[in-house]
Structure 1
Amino acid sequence: MRALAILPLISLPLVQGIPASEFQTVLNEIGDISDFTGGLFGGIAKGIGSAAKQAEKIFHGGQEKVEKFFESRNNAKKAPLTLWLNGGPGCSSVTGLLFELGPCSIAKQGEGVTFNNHSWNTHSNMIFLDQPVNVGYSYSNDGSTVNNSPVAAEDVYAFLELFLDRYPEYADSPFHIAAESYGGIYAPNIASVIHKKNTQLASKSFAPVPRLKRINLHSVILANGLTEPYTQFGSIPDFACDGPYPIFDDPSGARCEALRTKVPTCQRLIQGCYNYNSRFTCVPATLYCWSQLVGPLQQTGKNPYDARKQCDRQKDGQLCYKEMSWIETWMNDASNKKALGAPPDRDFASCNMEVNQAFMGQGDGMHNAALLLVPLINDGVRLLVYAGNADMMCNFMGNEAWVAKLEHKFHEEFSKTPSSPWVTLDSAGNVTFVNVYEAGHMVPFDQPEAALDMFTRWILDVPLSLNATELASRMTVPFAGII
């Protein structure tokens, strides 16, 4: 097994409501994991979190306790820093780590891991974080949980401040948030908190807080995300009946017509959620839209994450990919759990359905997270939205449509910009949309080389349409991607 460069890993229980001046990190070395080399640490951090209640929260992720932090394979000291989050809500970012874009990929039957030539840590330092609390091996000592994205975002901000306090050498690194699926709601909330806190720290009227750092937020990357449900749920009949991989054979047939009749009620309920921002308006939208628009697609036997494939859940698992069960096997291996410092009596699951239901019970996924991005874009933060064109869950049509509608200072320019070749993209100012052909919900799994190319160009602020010769002239280290 080729050795990977892994920086120390930190276990960061977050104690909510603690004064900023008191946060600290205490590290203790933990055991080795045979498939990896590098410093592995576990410890405690007292830090800033939501003041809603005192609750010790312990984040785990990757193969080690809390977050898995991988140094860039190229020029790590000058490389950007990227936080990766999977969605759910309630699903572990170990999926991204071992199934999509991490330095290693899960081996068959969960018997180990293999080296990933297309890992996103080729040109970026990477953090894979399990959140909110109770996802993966994360837990709360008093059993409390989080049930909405704004509160979860405050916890992630606290984690980032603690991380940068422990590793100040990354405090000035360009920082990117990349999030998939329900991460399309997580990431705008997290980015919004960072932006607001950065503004406060820069304000002369804001009392200085020792050891709090400005997070150098450069961009938000949304991967096949759910971000603006009004537009995205409205696009489902178009994708299912007229998309590149039709779910139903007859666009004017009874099933397509029945699906289209559900859109007005769904959008009316979502608009009520937008208007009143209450669980009493958002939960009905959640229940109706998912059951009436997504439910019929799931009943077809198609893989909801890739319309090109069938899904036999008895054979492929509830998430339609055998690799998910392999990951759980590897993560629950007794020797690996001991090395991770994970509680021996706690089982790892790819998704925690209790967390999922807690968020759904608040109607969290029916809020318009896209609006949170506008002030960031106007203030110079870049936005990349990409979507595989075979994904049923968060299809490319809906993603492209909400990006085109978003009112920011580059809106007019974006609306007039024709698509240009890479795979297919629209770009203007700080905003770029990419439609990735022959890929489903997990683009880095389906198109690993293309995904790495796109990500690398983005974090290095190189145009996606730049040809290989021009690209090579801008690189200070060999470029890993499509050349």
Structure 2
Amino acid sequence: MRFSTRLISGLALSALALASPLPDSSPKDKRSFVERDGTNFTVFEHAATGAKIEFVTNSGICETTPGVNSYSGYLSVGTNMNMWFWFFEARTNPTTAPLATWFNGGPGCSSMIGLFQENGPCHFVNGASTPSLNPYSWNSYANMLYIDQPIGVGFSYGTDSVTSTVTAAPYVWKLLQAFYAQFPRYENRNFGIFTESYGGHYGPEFADYFEQQNAAITAGSVTGQNIKLVALGINNGWFDASLQEKAYVDYSYSNNYKQLISDSQHTSYLNTYNSQCAPALAKCKSSGSNTDCKNSDSTCYNSIEGPLSQTADFDVYDIRAPSNDPNPPETYATYLTRSDVVKAIGAQSTYQECPNAPYQKFASTGDNSRSFLSQLSDVVKSGVTTVVWAGDADWICNWFGGLAAANAVTYAGQAAFQAKALASYTLNGAAAGTFKTVNNFSFLRVFGAGHEVPFYTPQLALQVFKQTMQGQALAST
């Protein structure tokens, strides 16, 4: 129920009392307005979850398209737990456009990376100090919500109790519930989750958790708004360490850009993987203990990932570039420390792109070594249109590992998917990658893109985003 105030005459009030002798004792949502240091905030208290959402309307930062609304601020998801969000209406048909969320990975990296470097309404061209409009922004098609999670990441601040992907999911669900209550016009829209990198953990778990909550709402055991999940997209994701640690060895040897290791080194690293890394990961999987999973993470890093990353001077996010590659430009992070920008958007903390503390909490549980292929499989089985895609110049979450993870997804079309060859994927008739689709599940290798695919190939990324949100199989144009 939404909170409202009505003037009722004495006669009407008496009639109401006779008709309804028991007053409604259910909690009510509350809305108020406050001014703080010259900035106006809307404050909304969500009765169902106990969350409070506080935000600025139309800051004039980033999205400057006339008539396109934006909201930026915080959701309080617990005692001293303030999660930052930034929402942009669709540039066209916002009243009917779907709703999508974006999460960067890490774990512990801000989604402002995606907003300003990848697919948001503005970007910093050639390292400019101020942003300009991005013609390939994903809000050209959908209403877009960017979330900094867990607490302590980006502009989020306060007590961080999240120690794993699994413990992160409920807070994101809570934010969305409060968002729907404050902005009910976005309820029942088609909803998509898009993410990258550690999003190979986040995406499957968040999607699976949302669907579990939907089932609980339907069963009456949870009170909330159904999230109409129709799409999941994960580019250059980290899904399963046992598959992707081996992919480091193979990609370093036989990618299309730069051979990093020799034949003999390739054999040696495979032997090391089989004798050290793989057994440690198997132990993590069998016991599930934090100790075993932490040990497997350090074992694989020290024997495989770490040494391979030092075999040459290259950027692990774009193998074509040197380790000091200036792209994507980091000027956005400086922009987000400007006092006028911070004030305008309603931020209450100093921006931190990828702070160490949240990362260490995930490391303490060995979360990196835990596979999320079963959750990804559950989401695909449920019928959600799902795409696993990867820029083929990325080393850190390379497309070899992404394809291996995609082939390991268990669903009705798995055998056909595994047997299917990659075919050409085109953008306006030009070769842009290779892909395969069976039923509602697709894999796409993107030519010439590093880790942050929408930065390198923005027009293609928008095409993939739109096709996936529309529930279509990937298709060339």
Q: Report the TM-score range of the alignment, normalised by the length of the smaller protein.
A: 0.7 to 0.9
Offset, 1:109 = 5.2
Aligned residues: 427
Residues 40, 239 of structure 1: alpha-carbon distance in 2 compared, 3 angstrom cutoff: closer
- Please tell me the residue identity of whatever aligns with 1:379: S
Offset, 1:455 = 1.5
Q: Report the aligned-residue RMSD.
A: 2.5
- Please tell me the residue identity of whatever aligns with 2:295: P
Secondary structure of 1:262 counterpart? helix
- Please tell me the residue identity of whatever aligns with 1:410: G
Secondary structure of 1:435 counterpart? strand
* Unmatched tracts of structure 2, length 5 or more: 1-39, 426-432
- Please tell me the residue identity of whatever aligns with 1:176: G
Whether the 8 Å contact between 1:10 and 1:42 is mirrored in structure 2 is no
Deviations, residues 364-423 of structure 1 (Å, cap 9, x unaligned)? 111111111222222212221001111100111111112112222221221233322212
Secondary structure of 2:320 counterpart? strand
1:308 to 320, 328, 332: 320
Aligned residue for 2:80? 56
- Please tell me the residue identity of whatever aligns with 1:273: C
Secondary structure of 2:202 counterpart? helix
1:148 aligns with 2:164: yes
Whether the 8 Å contact between 1:178 and 1:221 is mirrored in structure 2 is yes
Aligned residue for 1:323? 329
State the distance in 2 between where 1:407 and 1:281 align. Answer: 26
Aligned residue for 2:419? 416
2:347 to 337, 342, 345: 342
Secondary structure of 1:308 counterpart? coil
Alignment of 1:254-293 (within 5 A): 255-264=265-274, 265-293=276-304
2:130 to 103, 112, 124: 112
Aligned residue for 1:369? 372
State the distance in 2 between where 1:176 and 1:233 align. Answer: 29
2:225 to 213, 225, 229: 213
1:178 to 185, 191, 194: 194
Residues 357, 110 of structure 1: alpha-carbon distance in 2 compared, 3 angstrom cutoff: farther
Q: TM-score, normalised by structure 1?
A: 0.82
Secondary structure of 2:195 counterpart? strand
1:298 aligns with 2:309: yes
State the distance in 2 between where 1:10 and 1:384 align. Answer: 38
Whether the 8 Å contact between 1:297 and 1:304 is mirrored in structure 2 is no
Aligned residue for 2:437? 427
- Bigger CA drift: 356-365 or 386-395? 356-365
Residues 11, 45 of structure 1: alpha-carbon distance in 2 compared, 3 angstrom cutoff: farther
Residues 39, 219 of structure 1: alpha-carbon distance in 2 compared, 3 angstrom cutoff: closer
1:452 to 441, 445, 462: 462
State the distance in 2 between where 1:11 and 1:188 align. Answer: 33
Secondary structure of 2:82 counterpart? strand
Whether the 8 Å contact between 2:391 and 2:449 is mirrored in structure 1 is yes
State the distance in 1 between where 2:44 and 2:393 align. Answer: 39
Offset, 1:259 = 2.2
Aligned residue for 1:246? 258
Residues 342, 380 of structure 1: alpha-carbon distance in 2 compared, 3 angstrom cutoff: same
Aligned residue for 2:211? 195
Whether the 8 Å contact between 2:43 and 2:52 is mirrored in structure 1 is no
Residues 415, 112 of structure 1: alpha-carbon distance in 2 compared, 3 angstrom cutoff: same
Offset, 1:269 = 1.2
- Please tell me the residue identity of whatever aligns with 1:81: L
Offset, 1:288 = 1.5
Whether the 8 Å contact between 2:197 and 2:397 is mirrored in structure 1 is yes
Deviation >3 Å, runs of 4+: 9-14, 21-46, 107-110
State the distance in 1 between where 2:60 and 2:455 align. Answer: 27
- Please tell me the residue identity of whatever aligns with 2:241: P
Whether the 8 Å contact between 2:385 and 2:471 is mirrored in structure 1 is no
1:131 to 149, 171, 183: 149
Aligned residue for 1:380? 383
Residues 421, 362 of structure 1: alpha-carbon distance in 2 compared, 3 angstrom cutoff: same
Offset, 1:27 = 5.4
Residues 145, 242 of structure 1: alpha-carbon distance in 2 compared, 3 angstrom cutoff: same
Offset, 1:130 = 0.6
1:358 aligns with 2:387: no
Offset, 1:76 = 2.0
Whether the 8 Å contact between 2:75 and 2:83 is mirrored in structure 1 is no
1:81 to 92, 99, 107: 99
- Please tell me the residue identity of whatever aligns with 1:296: P
State the distance in 2 between where 1:76 and 1:335 align. Answer: 28
State the distance in 1 between where 2:423 and 2:229 align. Answer: 27
Deviations, residues 104-151 of structure 1 (Å, cap 9, x unaligned)? 0025555210111111112111111111110011011xx444221111
Deviations, residues 306-352 of structure 1 (Å, cap 9, x unaligned)? 1111112xxx5xxx53612x122100011111112223xx4312211
State the distance in 1 between where 2:245 and 2:41 align. Answer: 39
Q: Which has the higher strand share?
A: 2
Between the two proteins, what is the percent identity of the paired residues? 27
Offset, 1:55 = 2.8
- Please tell me the residue identity of whatever aligns with 1:163: F
Aligned residue for 2:48? 20
State the distance in 2 between where 1:208 and 1:130 align. Answer: 25
Secondary structure of 1:303 counterpart? coil
Secondary structure of 1:241 counterpart? helix
State the distance in 1 between where 2:416 and 2:42 align. Answer: 45
Q: Point out the structure with max Rg over C-alpha.
A: 2
State the distance in 1 between where 2:43 and 2:106 align. Answer: 22
Offset, 1:23 = 4.6
Deviations, residues 198-229 of structure 1 (Å, cap 9, x unaligned)? 111112xx3462xx111001121111000111
